[in-house]
Structure 1
Amino acid sequence: MSLTPAPAPFTADDYRARMARATESAAAAGLSGLLVAPGPDLVYLTGYQPTAITERLTVLVLAAGQEPVLVVPKLEASDAEHAPGAAALTLRDWTDAVDPYALTAPLLAPSGNAGSPQRFGVSDNAWALHLLGLQQRLPETSFAALTEALPMLRAVKDEHELARLEAAGAAADEAYTEILKVRFAGRKETDVAADLAALLIKYGHSQVDFTVVGSGPNGANPHHEAGDRTIAHGDMVVLDFGGLKHGYGSDTTRSVHVGEPSADEQRVHDVVREAQRAGFEAVRPGAACQDVDRAARAVIEEAGYGEYFIHRTGHGIGVTTHEPPYMIEGEEQPLVPGMCFSIEPGIYLPGRFGVRIEDIVTVTEDGGRSFNNTAREMAVVE
């Protein structure tokens, strides 16, 4: 078993720099600042993840000309004080007897342009309850979802983030290598899914997010959840699995076959493998996200399976397994070094089988580099 040492934790200075960049990016996007609720954006910017998400308001306020402020319920203030990025923050706590929106509203006051309308970016997972509470007290202030207003907030990774993603990818590869040794035929999908989850944990994952095991006709559903179907000899099996290691995501897919595949099954797999390769070869600085999708999709369409490729080619990955940028037609965001995302074309034949092959890649100065390096040829299992 190959295990790499845990990387050094991010420091308060790391989080301070992230918050400064986020504030600058918000200003460049025409925003007065950001309101960040508990979730991946808050973890990325401060290292703070509340132990429980409740109806009580917790929000990070980032605005030009003022220090970052984290508004937290008093009963959670002690946890917040020990967050990795706490030293870069001002904490402002409140009790249940206080109106948290009245407490927070002054932090959103104009800075520099008194009286001008304010517009704040809001993290996508903020509760409507909290946003409406702030709107009631600041009727002249408008709000925009961060995915729309600042989609690249977490998209470009630094060297320390890249190292974590590489380690997560390598751990997922180890799990795949070992799962090929177990018996598939005669076992339920849930049995193999449990094996995959255990292997991810064995190789250092702290969290397993998903273990898709789609056998036979179930493989034609891209998001099939492992069920009670018994895997049989002659089945194609889609294996898609991942989670978090050192706080960053893994996500890989390989399609295996129980016993020797038919000529038709082999052809479909070969087409998907070629499409995945074409998508990877389209990765380079300056190319648009949609170029990756177009390159992979063109191979599948030319082979006559275009109508059976029913999802985007890829998604970003970082502190969550799905985040911007997205490799999809119409996304003209240019690729830049440090971006990380999946390339995962697939063909799904209803009632028969599905095939998907997925790697996580990062953009380099002269192309792309894959964090998943197991064989992409179809593996035959027992």
Structure 2
Amino acid sequence: MTPFAPHVYADRRRRAAEQAAQAGLDGVLVAPGADLAYFLGHGADPGAERLTMLVVPAAGTTAHGASDGVESALVVVPRLEANDLQHHAAGGVEALAWADGEDEHAVAARLLRDGGRYAISDSAWALHVLGLQRTLPGARLTPFTTTLPMLRAVKSPEEIARLAAAGAGADAVFAEIVRRPFAGRRESDVAADLDALLREHGHEQVDFTLVCAGANGADPHHDADTTVIADGDMVVLDFGGLADGYGSDTTRTVHVGEPTDEDREVHDVVRAAQQAGVEAVRPGATCQDVDRAARAVIDDAGYGEHFIHRTGHGIGLTTHEPPYMVEGETLPIEPGMCFSVEPGIYLPGRFGVRIEDIVVAFPDDAPHAARRLNESPRELAVVG
């Protein structure tokens, strides 16, 4: 990922410190992966068993031994990885290094308050969550998703530009894939084409290439396999990944040969539901309002029991992240939030239909409350 300017990461840490204080927290504990990349421009290795953790004290507090917990990021890091972290992170990093053989959780505990309350990355290893709790039995650790749900949810214009570029790349992929043959090929063959095309169109990482033909389309997360696509099949195509560090995720449903009236009817219902979900996006509405709007169209058409998942999910440095467009999520939509709108109908043993776009919420005074980042045709495409 091309890093942003160093001040961008310092501003993000400052915002996290302010949100932590507002939430009554003592600080924020950030694990390797997308969360760490968001605050440092470098995510370290999320699969490493050694403890790496950024500590952001809540506004108005300091961490013991930190010269400045915002301008200079304070990171607990294995000694053998400290130089690499400081080299790759954007902006200043103040490393609290520990050596193999030391109790890494005791080292981290020097920066924390026993009895304090901290938000910790959802992706933190249980090994480290339990290790910190053992070392600081009076401390309380709570996940980002429930404590600081807006931490990464609202994107800056620079982030939205990268998401838009990723979405445009995915649209270009769809424009090419529908010109290729489907009938007589395996799902895995088409999935391989999608993978190669995503990379050709600027993606450095491909996260998924779902190709779900015929009855497999009734399984929303069916992995492409050796199923041979046949004439008359409805085929769900769901694909995406990261381009310059930010995600794409789009779904279109195509038909091999001329569709039946029922095929068109189901597709039209999903397309209307997706449109209703997009139109429900506006500042002040809640995430569940988007789900309700899309679901109402499918319910009214008599297919309610066959819409079996949430309507959407956030997207950014990962292709799936908060917020989630689902019943019970009362988080208000704010300008800059980016998420998918992807209703579907799944008829067991027969076929499925899903249509998905990434949308961005805009202020009330904008020409449109929501902007799609995918503009490939939503009509039922007929392929050969």
TM range (shorter): over 0.9
- In 1: Cα distance, 2:326 partner to 2:85 partner: 38
Aligned 1:4-19 pairs, distance under 5 A = 9-19=3-13
TM-score for both structures, normalised by structure 1: 0.94
The alignment partner of 2:238 has SS state of strand
Cα deviation digits, residues 185-215 of structure 1 (max 9, x gap): 0000000000001110000000000000000
C-alpha distance in 1 between matches for 2:130 and 2:378: 49
| Backbone CA RMSD of aligned residues | 1.2
Query: How many Å apart are 1:11 and its aligned residue?
Result: 1.8
CA distance in 1, matches of 2:126, 2:311: 31
1:362 corresponding residue in structure 2: 360
Alignment identity in percent?
61
1:291 and 1:36 mapped to 2: Cα distance?
31
Alignment partner for residue 378 of structure 2, among 346, 358, 376? 376
The answer to whether the Cα contact below 8 Å between 2:342 and 2:357 also exists between their aligned partners in 1 is yes
Deviation at 1:88, TM superposition (A): 3.2
Alpha-carbon offset, residue 9 of structure 1: 3.1
After TM superposition, give the deviation of residue 49 of structure 1 in Å. Answer: 2.1
* Alignment partner of 2:346 out of 345, 348, 351: 348
- Which residue identity lines up with residue 98 of structure 1 in the other structure? E
Match of 1:137 in 2: 135
Give the Å deviation of 1:128: 1.6
Distance 1:132 1:69 in 2: 21
Deviation track 1:261-310 (CA, whole Å, cap 9, x = no partner) reads 00001100000000000111111111111111111000000000000000
- Mapped to 2, the partners of 1:84 and 1:102 lie a distance apart of 24
> Could you tell me which residue of structure 2 aligns to residue 105 of structure 1?
109
Structure 1 residue ranges (4+ consecutive) displaced by more than 4 angstroms after TM superposition:
none
CA apart distance, 1:84: 3.2
Q: Once structures 1 and 2 are overlaid, which stretch shifts more, 140-149 or 95-104?
A: 95-104
Aligned residue for 2:242?
244
Is the counterpart of residue 91 in structure 1 residue 95 in structure 2? Answer: yes
Alignment-derived partner of residue 77 in structure 1: 82
Mapped partners of 1:246, 1:261: distance in 2: 38
Contact 1:220 1:349 in 2 (8 A): yes
Q: Which runs of 5+ in 1 are unaligned?
A: 1-5, 111-116
**What number of residue pairs does the alignment pair up?**
369
The 5 Å alignment of 1:168-317 reads 168-317=166-315
TM-score computed with the length of structure 2 as normaliser: 0.94
Deviation at 1:36, TM superposition (A): 1.0
Task: Give the Cα–Cα distance (whole angstroms) in 1 for the partners of residues 133 and 211 of structure 2.
Answer: 45
For residues 11 and 82 of structure 1, the distance between their equivalents in structure 2, rounded to whole angstroms, comes to 15
Whole-angstrom CA distance in 2 between matches of 1:276 and 1:262: 21
Q: Distance in 1 between matches of 2:290 and 2:117?
A: 33
The Cα shift of 1:51 comes to 4.2
Q: Which residue of 1 aligns with 2:27?
A: 33
1:52/1:339 CA distance change after superposition, 3 Å: closer
Do the aligned partners of 1:11 and 1:84 also contact (CA within 8 Å) in 2?
A: no
Distance 1:227 1:282 in 2: 36
Q: Deviations over 1:336-373 (max 9, x none)?
A: 11000000000000000000000000001131000000
1:303-344: per-residue Cα shift (whole Å, max 9, x none)?
000000000000000000111111111111111110000000
- Counterpart secondary structure, 2:363: coil
Measured after TM superposition, the shift of residue 52 of structure 1 is: 6.4
CA contact (8 A) 2:173 2:201 kept: yes
Alignment partners' CA distance in 2, 1:89 and 1:170? 35
Compute the displacement of 1:99 (Å): 1.7
Q: Contact conserved, 1:13 with 1:88, CA < 8 A, in 2?
A: no
- Aligned equivalents of 1:9 and 1:122: distance in 2? 24
Worse overlay, 325-334 or 165-174: 325-334
Q: 1:103-138: CA deviations, max 9, x gaps? A: 11110137xxxxxx3111111111121122222221
Matches within 5 A, 1:144-155: 144-155=142-153
Aligned equivalent of 1:113: none
**2:333 aligned counterpart, secondary structure:** coil
CA contact (8 A) 1:15 1:88 kept: no
Query: Does the 8 Å CA contact 2:86/2:92 hold for their aligned counterparts?
Result: no
Moved more, 196-205 or 47-56: 47-56
Distance (whole Å) between structure 2 residues aligned to residue 232 and residue 31 of structure 1: 57
Q: Which amino acid aligns with 1:94?
A: W
Q: Please state whether the residue corresponding to 2:88 is helix, strand or coil.
A: coil
